[in-house]
Amino acid sequence: MIQRQKAWQNVIGHWTSLEGDTTSNSYHWSKEGKHFFLEGGDSLGILRQVISLNKYKREVDDRKLELVFKGYVHAFPQDPPDQSRIMITCKADTLSKALYTFDTDTLSPVDKWLLIADSFIAPSSTRVVEVDLIAHRRNGWYNDGYFDDLSLVARNKGFVLSGKFMMIIGAIALLAIVVLVFV
C-alpha cells in the first residue's frame, strides 16, 4: 500500500468527515463504513492528500509502477445539484508541473454513489501524487458534493513492453501465421 505524506489538507473550504447512515439521516449515507467527506457551507471546497512515491523511485523511473485509483461521488438531490470532482496529479514534487492528470470533470450523481476509477503507469520522475476532492455548490446553503471509499494502490507491473517491441512481436506472429497458411 502507498504511504501518504500527510493527512488530508483542507485547501479551500471547511471539510468534515460526516457520519451518515440511513437510520439517523434521511438523505445522507456513506458508501462504505460510517463516514463520508462533505465540504459544508462554502461555494467551493478542495480537500487534498499528497502521497509520496519516493519508496518506489526505481519502479517509477523504469515505468513499472501502476497506480490504481478508486473512489465514489454523490450529490444531494436538488435542482440543480451540487457537483463533485476528483483530480489525480502526478508530479516530480509538489511545486512542479503535472506529469499526468486524471480529471473527472464535474459530476452530479443524485440517485446513487458513482464509481470513479482510473489506472495508469506512473510517468518517469513522479515522486508525489496529489489527490484532490473538489466540491462546487450550485444550490442551497450547503455544498453537497460527497466523497467516499477512496483508495490509491501501487502495483509493480514488472516488465512493461514498449510500443515498438509490441509491433515487432506482432509482425513475427503475423509472419508465423502466413508461413503456416502457405505450408
According to DSSP, residue 154 is labeled: E
User: What one-character-per-residue DSSP string does 11-62 give?
Assistant: EES--EEEE--TTT-SS---SSSSEEEEEESSSEEEEEEEEE-GGGHHHHHT
* Alpha carbons 46 and 12: distance in angstroms, whole number: 5
Within 10 A of 144 (CB to CB), how many other CB atoms are there?
Answer: 26
* Mean pLDDT over each residue of the chain, to the nearest integer: 82
d(CA 43, CA 39): 9
Looking at the chain, list the stretches that DSSP marks H as alpha helix, in order from N- to C-terminal side: 57-61, 163-182
Q: What is the pTM of this model?
A: 0.78
Q: b/e map of 2-28 (b: 16 or more CB within 10 Å)?
A: beebeebeeeebebeebebeeeeeeeb
For residues 111 and 106, give the distance between their C-alpha atoms in angstroms, rounded to a whole number: 16
Question: Shortest CA distance to 86 belongs to which of 147, 152, 133?
Answer: 133
Domains of the chain and any CATH numbers: 9-158 (2.60.120.260)
Please name the residue that has the C-alpha cell 492528470: 101
Please report, in tens digits, the pLDDT of each residue of the chain (183 residues total): 454 445 899 999 888 886 665 555 544 577 777 778 888 889 999 999 999 999 999 999 999 999 999 999 999 889 999 999 999 999 999 899 999 999 999 989 888 899 999 999 999 999 999 999 999 999 988 898 899 999 999 998 875 445 555 556 555 655 555 444 444
Amino acid type, 2: I
Of 126, 78, 72, 76, the C-alpha closest to 104 is: 72
